[in-house]
């Protein structure tokens, strides 16, 4: 968007004198003549490990053929997105994760990194691609074996077989283990019989199911020899070449949705549909011709979670797409806020740029800091994902960590996306509500990210349970002495924290000015101490509350757990926030340029303080912040906002979006041109001597 | 929705035994055999002063002709809504506020009450009606005089003249005083020349402007004799009978928006368009044939605000419509949460109803309490509005109070609407994202409510300024002694509050059980003390901070104000919350039935505690709640949620919606039917002896 090479080589020296005496801070880092970021270097940092692939994807979607047309009717939008997917194929975008022997690159990290950029073109394209290659294709790749790969992988990659991922049912979403669809092995014909026993077992909300899908990977209870071996996945043709349903298959269109209307979501049901035995995707469980079941994983529970875990990439990519979509909304709102003027200050002749208002800084800059944190956290998630799926670090522990990390980050980034896009839309007023400025469409499309691929609350509960079990492991086989020691530690900790961060330079700080003591008390190490301490204590509190449950009846135990459910989810959220903060801090630590490191450290501090402010009551109730120190958090945030205000444009320019990615007239400079035209009009009018005088000035005479 | 007569006369005695040992509270008040609400009586209470009109409106919109068709393309939707407006006319819905001499009822309160119910049919219909009769029509009625009423009122009422309300410009929204459009009087021809001097002065976002409008009430700077008398309103024909623009008039379509696409928003510009002198709506300012200006209000500032104030009804009706729309979303989500089952408890054979989850209660029930508060507050606002506009209480003070009340309540209820509808949509998972279940469409339509008819933050800032000026009045002419006394009072207050509510029975309570002491410390009077005290102190804190500003240069003063802007807005929000809480409390106090009073008191307590929890950090930092007492707030909320859970269905049934208002399949009982069918399937299968055994049970053998 800007010539950063020129900018970086000429650090501006002169302070700008704001016109009209408005209460303006400097509008840019150049004006502020401060250390400033190297925009291009920050772009590299944000694009992360697979920056090249992301740039490649962004270059590709500069082609208007990939752009969402706001307000396009559903039927046309669906066909347009299908066409866009066909365009992706020759660009190689559908084969990055495919093994080399099937013409792919076998590069899992790059694959997700590239796909998540599609959100800038049209979130429907991102998600429909995700359905085809990330879910349907991945089910065949990850849950199937060589025979399946040989048979279907190429056709899936080149879109000869568009497919649906038929897991969710009308009656069961998050609770996949309880789905009703059955796949009963018929030893006579060596076939599986796929069947929907009641309405609640219809497969539902499936992309590609309403119109385009020719096949589906159907999850069903595998029954053979009178035994239910739990949920497995089957490759089931659903439509013939003319687009008619195969015999026994039926369905419905889900119709208009809150967003993502470029995807043909629909329902499917099966009436005794027969598929060959070989259509069982048998990597983790198989049925022999004689009907005998075998699996390398003997525990049904572990087998189930291993199969689901193989499909974690959906969550990984949503975390990234939500982060990029959020960035776009911040780019639009902050660019506009730097141009749009409203109300004069009562003291001058000119109106004030929106971003000079204290409230406007407060509503947008912490969200910018949060979004930066998400970029760093997403890159770590992608690295872990790539490590596991490349086979480099494919251990059960790494898989479990990956799943926990994805389950912790995806809820935070998708919720943050909705909140941030909404704040951005409101910050742009009526023009933010126009489709052409993209914020409303973006929010509508991203809305469902918070409940699909794992409902956010359900995912956080999974994370919470993992935290509880890690916590419990510390005490496994612990003798009385160890437990006693722990209890003492707990108490000491509480007393210690009761004084409010005394351990970190508080006494030193108290000798300095207020400003200094605030910063001393809330520097990186204290931020970390506060954020990490909160996770530990919340988990420990829930664990303590649940401990008696082991002696209760299962009904009573369930009641105890239920009474702590909201708290456990909150602990998991705190864990995710900590991970984002740590990723941001590690990212900043890697920066060598002094100006960049300075500004990004302020931004990281803003994120840390923003998190601490959100949970300020908790910190005080739990004796980790004194009321005085708590009061200083808000003041420090205000100061950081003022300090970061001149860097706002640099920081959103560093997202590296081109005009073809932004496409919002209000962030194009049109607003500034209009303001200039209006000013010029009044200037000329005044110069002409024909300007009307105001009634007010008349009365003064 | 339910036979309340039967329910009320047969208070159930038997406790339900939850099937399957799930951790369920009672699902209904009948099961809980507790005091319960009289549903019909609560409906009366919620519908408020103009209940009859609201029932009439609800009856009318049972006709499917009024219903929004989800996903209807924009062009068709616009025509449908225009047709619906033509249907409103014979129902008398467009004439309630019109003076009797023009065939109306002269009933301002009933008019708004009836209109806000249209949100249940289609928010586009509510808002397009608001444009036609609430803005365009009201401008003629409130800003015009008899000659204008005689000439246009009947045609406006019966939709012969669809019109636009042309106030906002692309360059100026909230800052109406700064609009660029001019109306220059030409004494030669006795005409006003309406002119748009630059692009930023195009009228923008105007309903009825893109297609249907034949005229517009255009706000412009009135210039006569070389003097600008500020913003006045003019009646300007914009299209001929064939729908073509009049000479000199031009415009553009705003295109697709984030919602409300049944309204044809657009832009208008004027190139030296001449209208007769009589087209100035001259109630508050007039120009004689010779060009001399006269007004009964000599202060240009007061005149401007009086004119704007005459149009306050837009804000009043948005407060009501947002409240009713929010209620619809809660009805849908809570009804579904009472039917939908997901995950078994790990202890029984059946799955748990969503509303039995602690987290689900926590996410929805406080929002239900908040929505109830909004109903009571909106009725008070309507009463005040009716008092002023009927002439019964039409004093400058009452008008100012009305405007402040509207400016305080509209932001809260419209933001709450978005948050609540979103929470409701997420609580319904994927089905909440389907258009047919209405939550997404409702949220999209209501999105713009937070920034139009006064941007929420700008409105709250107005309220904040009013609070500051009221505060300052206490000290007007105060001598040093009085100020000193005040300062002492302040200090005493801080010390007093430092002990945390000791004044209200805390010592008594400390003798009782924890549970009792919690309640004693957070009863109605303490809730009020906390909520009111917060407003007082926040205003006083901002005032203290601003006091030195009077000695500063205007630039420095503006900077000081700017640094406190976010805080002032927060104080105004606290004020609005207090007003809602007080309205709710007064409403509950009017209830005679014991069961109803008991349950509504719990609900009011939940609202009060929810507000206090939101600002818990503030209460601790400012010494108004001890950390112990603060910790008990959250526990008390949890207990109230458990207590209210059996009443949830009664409380949403009391909204009085008929199936024709709800129209969401997931709240129709279809989910329960599906669950029953699934259970029956498994029961029959088990009975048949042909059910497969689980692999797990096999392994145990």
ipTM: 0.90
Of B450, B445, B430, B324, which is closest to residue B70 (Cα–Cα)? B445
At A4 the pLDDT is 33
Lowest-confidence region among A260-274, A559-573, B552-566: B552-566
Tell me the per-residue pLDDT of B594-649, one tens digit each, with 9 for 90 and over: 999 999 999 999 999 999 999 999 999 999 999 989 999 999 999 999 999 999 99
Chain segment A350-389, per-residue pLDDT in tens: 678 999 999 999 999 999 999 999 999 999 999 999 999 9
- A with B: how many residue pairs have Cβ under 8 Å apart? 308
Both A76 and A120 in one domain: the answer is yes
Q: Do B358 and A623 touch (CB under 8 A)?
A: no
Q: Is the pLDDT of residue B355 over 90?
A: yes
Look at B227 and A432 and tell me if their CB atoms are within 8 Å.
Answer: no
B102 and B224 housed in the same domain: no
> Given the structure tokens 């009422």, which residue do they identify?
B157
Question: Predicted confidence band at A494 (pLDDT cuts at 50, 70, 90)?
Answer: very low
* CATH code for position B389: 1.20.140.10
- Of the partner residues A433, A447, A631, the one whose CB lies closest to the CB of residue B440: A447
Interface mutation vs chain B, best among A428, A441, A562, A624, most B CBs within 10 Å: A562
Contact A178 B450 (CB under 8 A): no
Look at residue A581 and tell me if it is in a domain: no
Q: Which residues contact A431 (CB under 8 A, 6 or more apart)?
A: A336, A437, A666, B170
| β strands within B621-672, DSSP E | none
For residue A310, the model assigns a pLDDT of: 85
Whether residue B330 is predicted with pLDDT greater than 90 in this model: the reply is: yes
**How far is Cα B695 from Cα A300, in angstroms, rounded to an integer?**
7
The Cα–Cα gap between A357 and A345 comes to: 10
The better pLDDT of the pair A643, B481 is held by A643
Distance from CA of B151 to the nearest CA of A (A): 31
Nearest to A226 among B71, B674, B693 (CB): B693
Residue B256 CB contacts under 8 Å (≥ 6 apart), including other chains: A70, A71, A434, A435, A436, B74
A26-35, A133-142, B130-139, B669-678: lowest mean pLDDT where? A26-35
* Per-residue confidence (pLDDT) for residue B236, from 0 to 100: 98
Does residue B590 lie within any of the structural domains? Answer: no
Percent of chain A's residues with pLDDT above 70: 88
Closest residue to B433, CB basis, from A172, A258, A425: A258
Partners of B699 on chain A (C-beta within 8 Å) are 300
Q: Per-residue pLDDT for B502 more than 60?
A: no
Q: Based on the fold, state whether residues A212 and A144 are members of the same structural domain.
A: no
Maximum C-alpha span of chain B: 106
Half-sphere exposure of B426 (CA within 13 A, CB side): 24
Question: Is A659 inside a domain boundary?
Answer: no
Contacts of A185 in chain B (CB under 8 A): none
3-state secondary structure (DSSP) of residue A270: strand
Alpha-carbon gap: A10 to the closest alpha carbon of chain B (Å): 30
The pLDDT, as a whole number, for residue B521 is 67
**Neighbour count for residue A623 (Cβ, 10 Å):** 16
CA distance B373 to A165: 44
Average pLDDT for residues B309-326, to the nearest whole number?
A: 95
B406-424 tens-digit pLDDT? 999 999 999 999 999 999 9
Q: Which residue has the higher pLDDT, B487 or B215?
A: B215
Instruction: Let me know whether B318 and B454 are in one domain.
Output: yes
Give contacts of A564 with chain B, Cβ < 8 Å. 358
Which residues partner with B344 through β-bridges? B351
Please give, rounded to a whole number of angstroms, the shortest distance from the CA of A507 to a CA of chain B: 21
The predicted pLDDT at position A151 comes to 98
Most B-contacting residue of A168, A258, A459 (CB-CB within 10 A), to test interface: A258
Residue A216 pLDDT: 98
Q: Is the pLDDT of residue A499 over 50?
A: no
Same domain, A184 and A232: yes
Which positions in chain B touch A228 (Cβ < 8 Å)? 692-695
Shortest CA distance from B567: residue in chain A = A359
Q: Which of B228, B439, B559 sits opposite A693 (nearest CB)?
A: B228
Residue A444 has pLDDT above 80, yes or no: yes
Closest CA to A517 of A616, A599, A632, A604: A632
Given B400, B431, B459, the domain boundary residue is: B459
Query: Quick one: A173 and A276 in the same domain?
Result: yes
A451 shares a domain with A378: yes
Banded pLDDT at A16 (limits 50, 70, 90): very low
| Residue A548 placed within a domain | no
Is the CB of residue B643 less than 8 Å from the CB of residue B369?
Answer: no
Q: What is the CATH number of the domain that holds B278?
A: 2.40.110.10
* Preferred mutation among A231, A344, A678, A686 to probe B, highest tally of B CBs within 10 A: A678
Judged by CB atoms closer than 8 Å, whether chains meet at A620 and B627 is answered as: yes
State how far the Cα of B231 lies from the Cα of B223, in Å rounded to an integer: 9
Out of A74, A627, A674, the one facing B199 most closely (by C-beta) is A674
d(CA A178, CA A197): 13
Question: Which residues of chain A does B199 touch, with a Cβ-Cβ cutoff of 8 Å?
Answer: 674, 677-678
As given in the structure block, the two tokens for residue A97 are: 């994760």
Instruction: Tell me the per-residue pLDDT of A278-294, one tens digit each, with 9 for 90 and over.
Output: 999 999 999 999 999 99
% of chain B surpassing 70 pLDDT = 88
Mutate to test the interface with A, among B229, B562, B610, B672 (most CBs of A within 10 A): B562
pLDDT of residue B369: 98
Cα distances from A216 to residues A281, A303, A695, in angstroms, run 12, 21, 74
> Whole-angstrom Cα distance, residue A104 to residue A107?
8
Q: Are residues B326 and B300 in the same domain?
A: no
**Which of A6-10, A534-538, B80-84 has the lowest average pLDDT?**
A6-10
Q: Are B47 and B57 in contact (CB under 8 A)?
A: no
Is residue B556 in a domain? no
3-state secondary structure B421-449: HHHHHHHCHHHHHEHHHCHHHHHHHHHHH
Cβ distance B438 to B663 under 8 Å?
yes
B228 to A694: CB separation less than 8 angstroms, yes or no: yes
Number of domains forming the structure of chain A: 3
* Domain boundary, last residue among B106, B129, B157: B157
DSSP B540: H
Average pLDDT over residues B136-158: 97
Residue B490, CB half-sphere, CA atoms under 13 Å: how many?
A: 13
The residues facing A235 across adjacent strands are A217
Q: Which positions in chain B touch A681 (Cβ < 8 Å)?
A: 180, 197-198
pLDDT at A509 over 60: no
Q: Looking at A293, A309, A325, which one is the last position of a domain? A: A309
Say yes or no: B153 and B187 in one domain. Answer: no
In a domain, A546, yes or no: no
- For the segment B220-259, what is each residue's pLDDT rounded down to a tens digit? 999 999 999 999 999 999 999 999 999 999 999 999 999 9
Q: Which of B566, B627, B673 to mutate to test the interface with A (most CBs of A within 10 A)?
A: B566
Please determine, for residue B19, whether its predicted confidence score (pLDDT) is greater than 60: no
Asked whether the beta carbons of A437 and A421 are under 8 A apart, the reply is no
A-chain CB neighbours of B677 within 8 Å are: 198-200
**Least-confidence region, from A594-603, A657-666, B156-165, B486-495:** B486-495
CA nearest to A622 within chain B: B627
Nearest-angstrom CA–CA distance, A641 and A636:
9
Interface probe for A, chosen from B171, B630, B669 (most Cβ of A below 10 Å), is B171
Q: Provide the residue range defining the domain that includes A274.
A: 165-309
Q: Is the pLDDT of residue B16 over 50?
A: no
Residue of B350 and B690 predicted with greater confidence: B690
Contacts of A424 in chain B (CB under 8 A): none
- A273 is a domain residue: yes
Q: Which residues of A touch B197 (CB under 8 A)?
A: 681
Q: What is the predicted pLDDT for the residue at B701?
A: 58
Cα dihedral sign, B330-B332-B338-B344: negative
Residues A451, B433: C-beta atoms closer than 8 Å: yes
The pLDDT value recorded for residue B9 is 32
- Chain B residue numbers with beta carbons less than 8 Å from the beta carbon of A261 are 71
Which distant-in-sequence residues (6+ apart) come within 8 Å of B395 by Cβ? none
Residues of B in contact with A444 (CB under 8 A): 258, 440, 444
Which is nearest to A125 in space by CA: A75, A72, A71, A79? A79
Residue A208 placed within a domain: yes
Please check whether residues A300 and A325 belong to one and the same domain.
Answer: no
| Mean pLDDT computed over A61-73 | 96
CA distances from A158 to A122, A128, A154, B242, B420 (A): 20, 14, 6, 53, 43
Spatial neighbors of B645 by CB under 8 A, at least 6 apart, are B25, B26, B355, B356, B361, B365
Lowest mean pLDDT, pick from A484-493, A636-645, B185-194: A484-493
Q: Which residues are CB-contacts of A495 (< 8 A; sequence separation ≥ 6)?
A: none
**Backbone phi, psi, residue B191, to 5°:** -130, 155
pLDDT of residue A175: 87
- Mean pLDDT confidence for B439-455: 96
Mean pLDDT of B547-553: 77
Question: Which tokens hold the place of B430?
Answer: 């994927």
Residues in chain A closer than 8 A to B444 (CB atoms): 258, 440, 444
Nearest to A168 among B430, B557, B562 (CB): B430
Chain B residues closer than 8 Å to A432 by CB: 451
The answer to whether residues B148 and B191 belong to one domain is no
Tell me: pLDDT of A507 over 70.
no
User: Can you list the positions of beta strands (E) in B323-373?
Assistant: 341-344, 351-353
Q: How confident is the model at residue A328 (pLDDT cuts 50, 70, 90)?
A: very high
A431 and A321 both lie in a single domain:
yes
Residue B3: pLDDT above 90?
A: no
Number of Cα atoms under 13 Å in the Cβ half of residue B301: 3
Task: Calculate how close chain B gets to A184, using CA atoms only, in Å.
Answer: 10
Mean pLDDT, chain A, integer: 88
How large a percentage of chain B has pLDDT more than 90?
78
Give the neighbor-by-neighbor strand order of the sheet with A203-206: A203-206, A266-270, A249-253
CATH at residue A148: 1.10.540.10
């Amino acid at each position: 968007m800007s010539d950063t090479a020129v900018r970086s080589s000429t650090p501006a020296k002169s302070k700008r004198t704001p016109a009209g005496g408005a209460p303006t801070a400097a509008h840019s880092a150049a004006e502020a003549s401060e250390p400033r970021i190297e925009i291009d270097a920050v772009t590299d940092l944000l694009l992360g490990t697979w920056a090249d692939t992301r740039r490649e994807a962004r270059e590709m979607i500069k082609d208007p053929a990939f752009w969402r047309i706001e307000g396009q009717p559903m039927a046309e939008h669906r066909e347009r997105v299908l066409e866009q997917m066909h365009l992706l194929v020759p660009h190689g975008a559908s084969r990055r994760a495919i093994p080399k022997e099937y013409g792919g690159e076998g590069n899992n990290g790059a694959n997700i990194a590239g796909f998540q950029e599609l959100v800038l073109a049209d979130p429907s394209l991102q998600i429909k691609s995700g359905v085809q290659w990330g879910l349907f294709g991945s089910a065949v790749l990850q849950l199937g074996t060589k025979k399946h790969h040989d048979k279907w992988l190429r056709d899936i990659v080149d879109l000869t077989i568009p497919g649906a991922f038929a897991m969710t049912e009308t009656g069961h979403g998050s609770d996949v283990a309880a789905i009703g669809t059955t796949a009963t092995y018929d030893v006579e014909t060596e076939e599986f019989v796929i069947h929907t026993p009641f309405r609640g077992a219809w497969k539902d909300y499936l992309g590609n199911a309403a119109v385009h899908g020719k096949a589906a990977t159907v999850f069903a209870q595998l029954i053979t020899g009178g035994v239910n071996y739990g949920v497995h996945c089957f490759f089931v043709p659903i439509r013939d070449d003319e687009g008619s349903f195969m015999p026994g298959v039926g369905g419905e269109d889900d119709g208009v949705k809150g967003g993502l209307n470029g995807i043909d979501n629909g329902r499917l049901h099966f009436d005794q549909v027969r598929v060959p035995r070989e259509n069982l995707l048998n990597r983790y469980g198989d049925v022999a011709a004689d009907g005998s079941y075998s699996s390398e994983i003997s525990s049904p529970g572990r087998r189930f979670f291993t199969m689901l875990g193989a499909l974690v990439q959906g969550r990984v990519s949503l975390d990234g797409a939500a982060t990029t979509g959020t960035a776009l909304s911040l780019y639009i709102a902050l660019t506009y806020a730097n141009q749009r003027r409203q109300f004069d200050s009562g003291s001058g002749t000119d109106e004030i740029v929106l971003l000079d208002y204290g409230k406007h800084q407060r509503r947008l800059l912490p969200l910018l800091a949060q979004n930066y944190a998400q970029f760093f956290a997403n890159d770590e998630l992608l690295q872990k994902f790539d490590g596991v799926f490349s086979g480099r670090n494919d251990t059960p522990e790494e898989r479990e960590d990956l799943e926990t990390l994805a389950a912790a980050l995806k809820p935070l980034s998708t919720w943050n996306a909705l909140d941030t896009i909404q704040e951005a839309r409101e910050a742009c007023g009526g023009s933010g509500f126009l489709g052409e400025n993209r914020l409303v469409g973006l929010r509508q499309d991203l809305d469902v990210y918070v409940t699909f691929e794992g409902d956010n609350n359900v995912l956080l509960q999974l994370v919470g349970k993992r935290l509880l079990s890690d916590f419990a492991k510390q005490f496994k086989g612990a003798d009385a002495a160890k437990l006693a020691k722990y209890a003492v530690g707990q108490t000491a900790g509480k007393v210690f924290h009761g004084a409010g961060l005394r351990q970190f330079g508080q006494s030193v700080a108290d000798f300095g000015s207020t400003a200094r003591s605030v910063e001393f008390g809330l520097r990186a190490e204290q931020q970390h101490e506060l954020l990490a301490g909160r996770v530990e204590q919340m988990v420990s509190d829930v664990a303590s509350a649940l401990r008696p449950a082991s002696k209760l009846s299962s009904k009573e135990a369930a009641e105890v757990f239920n009474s702590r459910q909201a708290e456990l989810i909150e602990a998991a959220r705190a864990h995710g926030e900590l991970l984002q903060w740590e990723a941001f801090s590690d990212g900043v630590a890697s920066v060598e340029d002094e100006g960049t490191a300075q500004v990004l450290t302020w931004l990281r501090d803003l994120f840390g303080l923003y998190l601490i402010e959100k949970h300020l009551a908790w910190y005080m109730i739990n004796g980790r912040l004194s009321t005085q120190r708590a009061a200083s958090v808000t003041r420090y945030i205000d100061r950081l906002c003022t300090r970061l205000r001149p860097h706002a444009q640099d920081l959103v320019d560093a997202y590296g979006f081109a005009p073809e990615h932004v496409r919002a007239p209000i962030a194009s400079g049109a607003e500034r041109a209009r303001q200039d035209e209006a000013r010029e009009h009044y200037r000329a009018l005044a110069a002409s001597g024909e300007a009307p005088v105001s009634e007010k000035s008349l009365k003064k005479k």
